[in-house]
Chain A
Amino acid sequence: MLSAQERAQVAQVWDLIAGHEASFGAELLLRLFTVYPSTKVYFKHLGFCPDETQLLTHGRRMLEAVGVAVRHMDNLRAALSPLADLHAQVLRVDPSNFPLLTQCFQVVLASHLQGEFTVEMQAAWDKFLTGVSVVLTEKYR
């Protein structure tokens, strides 16, 4: 899956954003809901117009999960198994939505990392997030 160099690039990007899980996660969700309003149906618990506190709380939770994935790139399936159960049995997010989140994530990274979000970094991160998405939707059937 990910080559050694790609793993290094994923880890490098993570080092740059670690510590900002809440604010980046909140921005990620805000972009997702603004650009793809249909995704809001999966976040009814955040209310119709999630306020900043709710976005920050949920955003941090999501980014912390990404952090877990970064630390376990060698074994995403095991590390994300509880989350995969959650998505399959409870949340049931249609798999077509994951690329939308992946896209918004890259826009967040590009906007904050700018010159550091090189062509190669984007490709590595896209592969990584796609891998995470596959694991999270694997138990659906």
Chain B
Amino acid sequence: MALSAADKAAVRALWRKLGSNVGIYTTEALERTFVSFPATKTYFPHFDLSHGSAQVKAHGKKVADALTLAVAHLDDLPGALSALSDLHAHQLRVDPVNFKFLGHCLLVTLARHYPGDFGPAMHASLDKFLSHVSSALASSYR
């Protein structure tokens, strides 16, 4: 289920539209993840996770930058994300099931903010892209 040319074009087009607001949406996605899937909070014991937290916002920006990097390297996600994969595998040790939760909440966030742009085809392409990002992140685990 590799990303087709159409998937890549869709993801790039959406990312262009998001422009400099990616961080706003990744922050909201993180917030949704913490509330819908409270077990994910265990990875952030050192954070203030209340609504509007500056730490969550800063973390949202990191996630945004990583996803933007991924979008810029759709033809080689494993290569582009290899350092992040090492980080998640060896230091952060986030159980990969959690990547799906964040991915899902990002889809919900984008559907909420860009309903006109988030039809089934875009939904599918973005879901595929996020699955590939998750796989790339989990690739260093073993």
Contact = CB atoms under 8 A, between A and B. Distances in A.
Interface of A: 27, 30-31, 33-35, 103-104, 106-108, 110-115, 117, 119-120, 122-123, 126
Given A103-B104, A126-B36, A114 B123 contact: no
A106 B109 CA distance: 10
Contact of B108 (A34, A110, A115): A110
B124 A107 contact: no
25 contacts: A31-B120, A31-B124, A33-B120, A34-B120, A34-B121, A34-B124, A35-B124, A110-B109, A110-B111, A111-B111, A114-B113, A114-B115, A117-B108, A117-B112, A119-B28, A119-B32, A119-B35, A119-B51, A122-B32, A122-B35, A122-B105, A122-B108, A123-B32, A123-B36, A126-B36
A110 B112 contact: yes
Q: Which 4 residue pairs spanning A and B have beta carbons closest together?
A: A34-B120, A110-B112, A110-B111, A111-B115
B112 A30 contact: no
Interface of B: 28, 31-32, 35-36, 51, 104-105, 107-109, 111-113, 115, 118, 120-121, 123-124, 127
Given A111-B115, A114-B113, A117-B108, 11 more contacts: A31-B120, A33-B120, A103-B107, A107-B118, A107-B123, A110-B112, A112-B115, A117-B112, A119-B28, A119-B31, A126-B36
B35 A120 contact: yes
B112 A115 contact: yes
Nearest to A27: B120
B35 A107 contact: no
A131 to B, nearest CB: 14
A108 B118 CA distance: 10
A125 to B, nearest CB: 9
B102 to A, nearest CB: 13
Nearest to B104: A103
Contacts of B104: 103, 106
B36 A122 contact: yes
Contacts of B121: 34
Most chain B beta-carbon contacts within 10 A, residue among A34, A119, A126 = A119
Contacts of A33: 120
A33 B115 CA distance: 19
